[in-house]
Amino acid sequence: MWSVDEHLADILEAVRPLEPIELQLHDAQGCVLVEDVMVEIALPPFDNSSMDGYAVRVADIEGADEEFPAVLTVIGDVAAGSDGLPGDRAVGPGEAARIMTGAPLPAGAEAVVPVEWTDGGTGGGPADTMRSLSDAPEGAGGEVRVHRPVEARAHVRARGSDVKPGDLALSAGSVVGPPQIGLLAAIGRSTVKVRPRPRVVVISTGSELVQPGEELTGGRIYDSNSFALTAAAKDAGAIAYRVGAVTDDADTLRATIEDQLIRADIVVTTGGVSVGAYDVVKEALSSVGDEDEPGSGIDFRRLAMQPGKPQGFGSIGPDHTPLLALPGNPVSSYISFELFVRPVIRALMGLPDVNRPTVQAVLDTDKALTSPSGRRQFLRGTYDAEAGTVTPVGGAGSHLIGALARADALIVLPEDVTSAEPGTDTEVILLR
């Protein structure tokens, strides 16, 4: 039998990151940058106001209070998107300019007084009830009374205070998420060079499978694997396509896989990899290799693990698309995906860390856990980060999908461990 580590190493040795492509920002979400992105413009590109208020000279409002406000002449408005005061006029001694949030600080001004600290140009007291200049009465202007002093640069966002030309915006290897897309757009980038998200086709097999929503008849079960693995592929960062369950017919399965290759960077099958009379995945794929192409074809193996002993891996089709054949029991299938398929997806994306994070935790259970000698066992559990403990969920059966749905971790019992007592330190793979 192969060990878990040997099987994974063999898979990753055969996988290479996808070739980079240039994508529009809205298509690049979830992809990995392949080159550094440098800043070419300052953010903000100019000094601008962080408040609705009045652009002023600091000396003109020094010592101002509610009893003795500074009275300034309002010489105009500066709106967001404008170039400043009309006619490039500057704010002079004893003057102020009404300014909106995001508007450029006009020449001559040194700070912004929030509108709440003024009378809003109404000639009354402090405008504490006003939260923006749009609340001021129409035509308010002429003069404004300022009831508090400010320091130089108060409420001003300085040019380049976020990023400056020549700064590193994003480094190669970064995953492009919503904040990264926002930054790229803000510095004027419309496209980026990335490795695309892998396309994963998930195919479940078995004549006993019925699609959810259909009526169950005797001896049949709902197809859960294709739904779970398609969701898992998306969670790993892939674009995933689910194919409805294929019946136990080798020719049909082979034709289905061949039809799907046009949209697949990886093919994942579930079911039909054991030694039963109807295990058609092995029958359909055992002879797909090309004798003139070393390394092509699917190799079916037994792994020293529980659950998930039967596994298959290889390549298929003219582009040698990787295919991973997983067992059909729901827990076996999902754990196999986490251990083997997820790392392939991450490797194709060009990510350096392809595996789920692991931690050490204290086993919180009333009785010892048992494991077969020579097998690495993966049990479902719930991890308490604050307490540093992990609690088993459900039993060891590979059909217990209810327990899997409640788990957020896998408890790992190594090949040389046959019993783990309560309070034992154990390796835990975090699933969330």
* In a shared domain, residues 326 and 387: no
Tell me the CA distances in angstroms from 360 to 38, 127, 353, one per residue in order. 39, 58, 18
pLDDT at 292: 52
CATH number of the domain to which 410 belongs: 2.40.340.10
* In a shared domain, residues 339 and 224: yes
pLDDT at 69: 95
CA 221 to chain centre: 33
The residue among 324, 349, 374 that closes a domain is: 349
The residue among 298, 317, 349 that closes a domain is: 349
pLDDT at 123: 64
The residue among 148, 179, 195 that closes a domain is: 195
* In a shared domain, residues 312 and 411: no
Domain containing 60 equals: 48-157
CATH number of the domain to which 294 belongs: 3.40.980.10
* In a shared domain, residues 211 and 231: yes
* In a shared domain, residues 245 and 280: yes
CATH number of the domain to which 149 belongs: 2.170.190.11
* In a shared domain, residues 268 and 396: no
How many domains are there within the chain?
A: 4
Show the tokens assigned to 148.
């508090």
* In a shared domain, residues 407 and 425: yes
Strands 358-363 and 425-430: antiparallel
pLDDT at 137: 46
- Say if residue 102 is exposed, middle or buried (CB neighbours under 10 Å; 0-12, 13-18, 19+): middle
Mean pLDDT by runs of 10 across the 432 residues of the chain is 96 96 96 96 96 96 94 94 89 96 96 94 58 48 90 97 96 96 96 97 91 87 93 97 89 91 96 69 69 67 94 92 94 96 97 95 94 94 96 73 89 95 96 92
Contact 356, 338 (CB under 8 A): yes
pLDDT at 76: 92
Contact 203, 257 (CB under 8 A): yes
* In a shared domain, residues 141 and 12: no
* In a shared domain, residues 183 and 104: no
Distance CA 378, CA 381 (A): 9
* In a shared domain, residues 300 and 336: yes
Show the tokens assigned to 328.
């059909």
DSSP SS3 for 152 = coil
* In a shared domain, residues 25 and 93: no
* In a shared domain, residues 214 and 186: no
In degrees rounded to 5, what are phi and psi of residue 145? -100, 125
For the entire predicted model, the pTM comes to 0.85
